[in-house]
């Protein structure tokens, strides 16, 4: 599959890719329409196909040897394939459909190679090699697009995870000057850090000197998470805000004691309601029932 | 890695070191909290170089590792070196007029922390914080 | 960053207000500490408010300076409140291992003032104008809170 200094086969393939790119693109686009028409909108992908052929042409003009995958000359092609696979993903194509889309270049390419070989005298003997070089090249393009597709999907997943992280840690205002973060589900270190930061930001934003971190919905915490919570409380104090941790389950209390963490400086309450009462009290509010002689 | 250099010999140089580091941290796309941690660590180390190392040089630049970008800062001096490294890392340990948080504290603020030192051989500390 | 520039101290009745707006080098921090303690004695101030909302960094040196000012002020019978620390700065300080024990904090100047009730409300008219340089005995009489 490696093609050292322009062999006759490479030279033939290069010539086709360079000089017949317009014909190739037309035939490729037609093949795409046959394959996907109606089912998917591949207009964007088609445009990328054109860019791909242009990029291939640019590389071959500089050096007629076919660039092997992973080389520096391959990089511009990979960049185009990244765009291509992104467009395919957006159009709803699967990874294998995306690779297929690239493989559809083969037929037009083979046709042109055969025609060229027929035109030149004695071209037929180089034809087999050229076909092999072409199929290898297109296979590599297809596989690269497949990989790029998966990479971009991983990116999307990671981004969605981040967004979910933000969504799953809302900081709510309970009362003027009193914020709360009701934490639900398993806390990992990353999520706890996000909570910590968004709570502290919100304290400044809303000028709230009291904050309640409610962990009723948290089944368990590990050392790192417990430490993050304590650091949040310490950081809030440095900023001039008081934190109360509420809803500590028995298991978590045990963990905290076993880990030897010192909570003596932190106000803890059994329930969010208790914490709110303390927060109101410290903020100078009094809560009582009305409609009854006091 | 391309390098920004700051000579470290005075209080003002420590401030300059902070500014250079901050600029690189922003360039590397570090989040605000990460920027602050890195710049604070560098402030501690640069001060250390000025006070205990008798002055030196800070080099800072961006580093890449796959998709990650980070900032690497090196503080180098030709000072007396550190004889007992373990002790230098302990919170509360100090030989100068610090709180004794400088070394151990700075280490907690970065991802990579590398010290090369020997008595009489000067000290080179390299830290990296990744984005 | 001029080597000799000092952080200005504003006096409001018995309150001293310091707004740190530059990235201080160490000598500047030390000078501020000296200026403040001097001013507390000279003016008989009972409250010191230090606004650090403009600071994007508090390292161990500045942190220690803040703690020292609070401790010295306490000895001189004045309360200190540090206000406006940014979240990123607070998180970093905690990670660094500094908790500023003994320093009162507040979210902003307004809330900080509220922590010093005896101060801004009734500046002791005659004593306030008294530019006595010697140890101020009124300061001893002041703790009417």
Segment C4-15 mean pLDDT? 88
Q: ipTM of this model? A: 0.87
How many other C-beta atoms lie within 10 A of the C-beta of residue A9? 21
Which tops the pLDDT comparison, B42 or A121? B42
**Whether pLDDT at C128 is above 80:** no
Is residue C132 situated within a structural domain?
no
Q: Which of A8-17, A223-232, A239-248 has the highest mean pLDDT?
A: A239-248
Question: What pLDDT is attached to residue A210?
Answer: 96
Which of the 8 DSSP states describes residue C135? P
Give the number of C-alpha atoms closer than 13 A to the C-alpha of residue B41, restricted to the C-beta side: 30
**Whether pLDDT at B119 is above 60:** yes
Question: What pLDDT is attached to residue A174?
Answer: 94
Q: Is C54 helix (H, G, I), strand (E, B) or coil?
A: coil
Distant-in-sequence, close-in-space partners of A204: CB < 8 Å, separation ≥ 6: A239, C86, C87, C107
Instruction: Answer whether A53's CB lies under 8 Å from A16's CB.
Output: no
Range of the domain at C28: 9-108
Model confidence at A237, in pLDDT bands (50, 70, 90)? very high
% of chain B surpassing 90 pLDDT: 64
Which of A200, A208, A209 is closest, CB to CB, to C90?
A200
Model confidence at B94, in pLDDT bands (50, 70, 90)? low
Range of the domain at B94: 4-130
Which tens digit of pLDDT belongs to each residue from A145-177? 999 998 888 888 888 877 776 666 789 999 999
Is residue C145 situated within a structural domain?
no
Residues 179-218 of A with CB under 8 A from C: 196-197, 200-201, 203-204, 207-209
Instruction: Answer whether A242's CB lies under 8 Å from A265's CB.
Output: no
CB atoms C94 and A200 under 8 Å: no
Q: Which residue on chain C is closest to A197 by alpha carbon?
A: C87
Is residue C127 situated within a structural domain?
no
Instruction: Answer whether A283's CB lies under 8 Å from A210's CB.
Output: yes
Rounded to an integer, what distance in angstroms lies between the CA atom of residue A253 and that of residue A29? 65
Is residue C3 situated within a structural domain?
no
Question: What pLDDT is attached to residue A184?
Answer: 85
Question: What pLDDT is attached to residue A122?
Answer: 63
**Whether pLDDT at A260 is above 60:** yes
Question: What pLDDT is attached to residue C118?
Answer: 63
Query: Considering its fold, how many domains does chain B have in total?
Result: 1
Phi, psi of C123 (to 5 degrees): -70, 125
Question: What pLDDT is attached to residue C126?
Answer: 47
Question: What pLDDT is attached to residue C117?
Answer: 64
Which of B18, B37, B102 is closest, CB to CB, to C23?
B18
CB atoms B40 and C25 under 8 Å: no
Q: Which residue has the tokens 């693109």?
A: A25
Model confidence at C140, in pLDDT bands (50, 70, 90)? very low
In order of their start, the domains of chain A are: 8-162 (1.10.490), 172-282 (3.30.750.24)
**Whether pLDDT at A279 is above 50:** yes
**Set of chain C residues whose Cβ sits within 8 Å of the Cβ of B102:** 60
Is residue C48 situated within a structural domain?
yes
Task: Determine which of C5, C58, C59 to mutate to test the interface with B (most B C-beta atoms within 10 Å).
Answer: C59
Rounded to an integer, what distance in angstroms lies between the CA atom of residue A93 and that of residue A88? 5
Rounded to an integer, what distance in angstroms lies between the CA atom of residue A176 and that of residue C38? 39
Query: Considering its fold, how many domains does chain C have in total?
Result: 1
Q: Which residues are paired to A284 by β-bridges? A: none
Q: Is A72 helix (H, G, I), strand (E, B) or coil?
A: helix
Lowest mean pLDDT among A80-89, A165-174, B10-19, B107-116: A165-174
A partners (3+ CB pairs within 8 A) are C
Which tens digit of pLDDT belongs to each residue from B37-68? 999 999 999 998 998 889 999 999 999 987 78
Which of the 8 DSSP states describes residue A74? G
Rounded to an integer, what distance in angstroms lies between the CA atom of residue A198 and that of residue A215? 16
Instruction: Answer whether A200's CB lies under 8 Å from A236's CB.
Output: yes
Distant-in-sequence, close-in-space partners of C74: CB < 8 Å, separation ≥ 6: C80, C102
Is residue C118 situated within a structural domain?
no
Q: Which two tokens stand for residue B105?
A: 């504290």
Determine the length of chain C.
Answer: 145
Instruction: In chain C, count H helices and then E strands.
Output: 7, 5
Segment B77-93 mean pLDDT? 76
The overall average pLDDT reported for chain B is 87
Which tops the pLDDT comparison, C121 or C107? C107
Strands (E), A168-280: 172-175, 178-184, 210-217, 242-246, 267-269
Segment A230-245 mean pLDDT? 94
C partners (3+ CB pairs within 8 A) are A, B
**Whether pLDDT at A241 is above 80:** yes
Is residue C45 situated within a structural domain?
yes
Question: What pLDDT is attached to residue A116?
Answer: 85
Transcribe A155-174 into DSSP letters: HHHHHHHHHHHHHTS--EEE
Is residue C134 situated within a structural domain?
no
CATH number of residue B10's parent domain: 3.30.565.10
CATH number of residue C15's parent domain: 3.30.750.24
Q: What's the distance, Cα to Cα, between the start and end of chain B in Å?
A: 16
How many other C-beta atoms lie within 10 A of the C-beta of residue C57? 24
Question: What pLDDT is attached to residue A294?
Answer: 53
Pairing of strands C47-51, C15-19: parallel
Q: Which residue has the tokens 């000012």?
A: C69
């Amino acid at each position: 599959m490696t093609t050292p200094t322009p062999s006759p086969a490479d030279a033939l393939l290069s010539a086709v890719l360079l000089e017949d790119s317009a014909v190739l693109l037309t035939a490729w686009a037609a093949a795409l329409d046959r394959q996907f028409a109606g089912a998917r909108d591949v207009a964007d992908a088609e445009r990328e196909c054109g860019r791909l052929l242009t990029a291939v042409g640019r590389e071959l003009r500089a050096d007629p040897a076919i660039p092997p995958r992973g080389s520096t000359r391959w990089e511009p092609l990979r960049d185009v394939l990244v765009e291509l696979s992104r467009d395919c993903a957006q159009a709803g194509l699967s990874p294998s459909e995306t690779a297929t889309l690239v493989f559809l270049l083969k037929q037009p390419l083979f046709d042109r190679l055969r025609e060229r070989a027929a035109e030149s005298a004695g071209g037929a003997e180089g034809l087999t090699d050229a076909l092999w070089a072409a199929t290898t090249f297109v296979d590599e393009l297809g596989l690269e697009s497949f990989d790029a597709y998966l990479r971009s999907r991983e990116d999307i997943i990671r981004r969605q995870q981040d967004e979910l992280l933000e969504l799953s840690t809302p900081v709510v205002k309970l009362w003027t000057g009193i914020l709360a973060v009701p934490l639900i589900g398993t806390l990992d270190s990353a999520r706890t850090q996000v909570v910590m930061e968004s709570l502290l930001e919100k304290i400044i934003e809303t000028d709230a000197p009291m904050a309640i971190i409610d962990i009723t919905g948290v089944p368990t915490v590990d050392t790192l998470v417990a430490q993050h919570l304590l650091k949040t409380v310490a950081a809030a104090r440095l900023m001039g805000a008081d934190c109360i941790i509420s809803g500590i389950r028995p298991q978590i209390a045990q963990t905290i004691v076993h880990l030897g963490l010192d909570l003596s400086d932190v106000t803890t309450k059994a329930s969010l309601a208790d914490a709110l009462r303390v927060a109101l009290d410290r903020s100078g509010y009094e809560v009582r029932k009305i409609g009854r002689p006091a | 890695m391309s390098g920004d250099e700051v000579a470290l010999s005075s209080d003002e140089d420590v401030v300059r070191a902070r500014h250079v580091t901050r600029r690189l941290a922003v360039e590397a796309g570090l989040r605000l909290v990460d920027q602050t941690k890195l710049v604070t660590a560098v402030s501690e180390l640069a001060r250390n170089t000025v006070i205990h190392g008798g002055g030196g040089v800070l080099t800072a630049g961006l580093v890449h590792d796959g998709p990650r970008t980070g900032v690497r800062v090196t503080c180098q001096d030709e000072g007396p070196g550190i004889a007992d490294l373990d002790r230098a890392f302990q919170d509360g340990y100090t030989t100068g007029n610090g709180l004794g948080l400088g070394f151990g504290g700075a280490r907690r603020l970065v991802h990579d922390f590398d010290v090369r030192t020997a008595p009489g051989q000067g000290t080179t500390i390299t830290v990296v914080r990744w984005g | 960053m001029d080597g000799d520039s000092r952080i200005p101290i504003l006096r409001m009745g018995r309150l001293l207000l310091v707004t740190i707006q530059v990235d201080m080098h160490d000598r500047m921090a030390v000078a501020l500490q000296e200026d403040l303690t001097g001013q507390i004695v000279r003016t008989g101030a009972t409250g010191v408010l230090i606004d650090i909302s403009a600071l994007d960094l508090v390292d161990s040196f500045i942190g220690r300076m803040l703690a020292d000012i609070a401790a010295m002020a306490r000895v001189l019978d004045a309360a200190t409140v540090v206000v406006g620390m940014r979240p990123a700065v607070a998180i970093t300080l905690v990670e660094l291992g500094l908790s500023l024990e003994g320093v009162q904090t507040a979210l902003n100047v307004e809330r900080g003032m509220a922590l010093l009730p005896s101060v801004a409300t009734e500046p002791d008219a005659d004593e306030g104008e008294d530019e006595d340089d010697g140890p101020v005995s009124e300061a001893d009489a002041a703790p009417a809170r």
